[in-house]
Chain A
């Protein structure tokens, strides 16, 4: 049985770990959903899945290019490349979005979940305008988003790296990259959707009380589901011919 081979088991375990990283990443990213798009809530004005997958896929492009340009690159370097690609995407998005909140909509950045920003120590509650759940992207949310997208990008880089090492000897390099890339994208979407149920569509980041409440359950679910995805990824290799 190919599935009981120790190397294969390690690969499946690594895919499960990647899923956990992506799931954790979604909890870090300050997603405000539709209310944030109308400056009614703190965070980025879009959905969890769209944002986590959007940033993670940029990380997939950078990590895949790194592995392609230097096949001997260490797994840590590939993961770092994916992490920075995703973080740069999310930081650029949050910075440009912050400019819109500040100079287009004209609202002060404020978190509705904490009285003081844990990083800057600045009061937040008295900047929350009437009838809203905070607005804009305060420093704690920005830093949390950068860290979270980094985790997601690293997770994507890890899955791609594992699958490329598994598929490359079986099929041509171009085909291996295509299958590994599409599979990584699939795992991204699976692990972006799972936390969406936990966080209920919106979360401010690591300082949000929801974070501690839902992370353990969501991460456990993601590990199990990602390992199942890993088993499928190994099984489809059975039909691969050069």
Chain B
């Protein structure tokens, strides 16, 4: 389909918005279900004698589990589209089927992981499973809906050469990679270890000693997602939103030319500079930790 520039930009904005929502919700789903790298601490805690009421899912690495979920949604959507369903209905049903499948994996992996920790006396809380699983399914449904919608738009409107399931698979893997790299740091580095000293990294001696008390009562995964929704989730959304937007914006404006590639390089340079400015600001705020011996010696000689 050939689109004019205004329409192309409108679709690009829609893709960026869908990606931002998908990125945000994917990270929050991995927080409420406790998946990926931070879950290693949830898994380790009972072995250190810290029993907890946090959901312990980790179906697999985030990219693979989300890829599985989204390719399922994309496949169901494709089947329904070929049966002449209205696209929005097909995407919603596809996303729902995938989310239910994901929920099944979440419950079996939670039960399986806790069962493997019997020797450490970690209980399997049925109320946690009842309250948390619908939240996991709900978050995953929104992620599936957004990513399958992106795949549908890219396939049907923009004319990408790949099929809907394959595009959904790729975006599922990418959203998982971004969620695992960005938002999970907020969950693993901050929320699980709010008892560490402020302004420094996590001492390895604290491994497994996760915070188990909430603002009121014992902490569970719903408390964790409430906290991570303030920063980790939106930051992940920005990560995926920027990826989707800047990977297409250049070619939408400048076409398939070397100019578009040059603009891409400029975007990368701007991002490097932004990271450097953040580094300077944060180094001034929290460091240095060790006294510089050379400076100390130089100072003592001068005196």
Contacts and interface: CB of A to CB of B under 8 A. Distances in A.
B248 to A, nearest CB: 8
Interface stretch (B97-105, B114-122, B211-219, B257-265): B257-265
Given A96-B238, A120-B276, A143-B272, A55 B177 contact: yes
Contacts of A151: none
A113 interface: no
7 contacts: A45-B189, A80-B261, A98-B275, A100-B182, A104-B232, A120-B276, A132-B202
Interface in B27-45: 36-38, 40-41
Given A57-B170, A129-B201, A109 B279 contact: yes
B86 interface: no
A197 interface: no
Contact of B242 (A36, A65, A92, A174): A92
A108 B282 contact: yes
Contacts, number: 297
Contacts of A127: 283, 287-289
A122 B64 CA distance: 38
A224 interface: no
Interface size class of A (residues with CB under 8 A): 35 or more
Contact of A53 (B38, B173, B189, B190): B173
In the A-B complex, the 3 residue pairs with the smallest Cβ-Cβ separation, listed nearest first, are: A54-B177, A131-B203, A129-B200
Contacts of A178: 162-163, 166
Interface in A79-127: 80-81, 84-85, 87-89, 91-110, 120, 122-123, 125-127
A159 interface: no
Contacts of B268: 84, 87-88, 91, 146
A33 interface: yes
Interface centre among B177, B246, B267 (most CB of A within 10 A): B177
A8 B238 CA distance: 43
A46 B180 CA distance: 6
A131 to B, nearest CB: 3
Contact of B188 (A45, A80, A108, A130): A45
A182 interface: yes
B251 interface: yes
Contacts of B288: 108, 123, 126-127
A45 B188 CA distance: 9
A22 interface: no
Contacts of B290: 125-126, 128
Contacts of B274: 95
A103 to B, nearest CB: 7
Interface string B225-258: 0000001100110111011001110110000101
Most buried by B among A33, A39, A85, A104: A104
Contacts of B177: 46, 50-51, 53-55, 93
A88 to B, nearest CB: 5
B279 A138 contact: yes
B164 to A, nearest CB: 11
A105 B189 contact: yes
Contacts of B167: 61
A137 B161 CA distance: 35
A28 interface: no
A50 B62 contact: yes
Given A84-B264, A106-B190, A185-B170, 9 more contacts: A33-B37, A37-B185, A45-B188, A45-B189, A58-B243, A61-B162, A69-B159, A93-B181, A129-B289
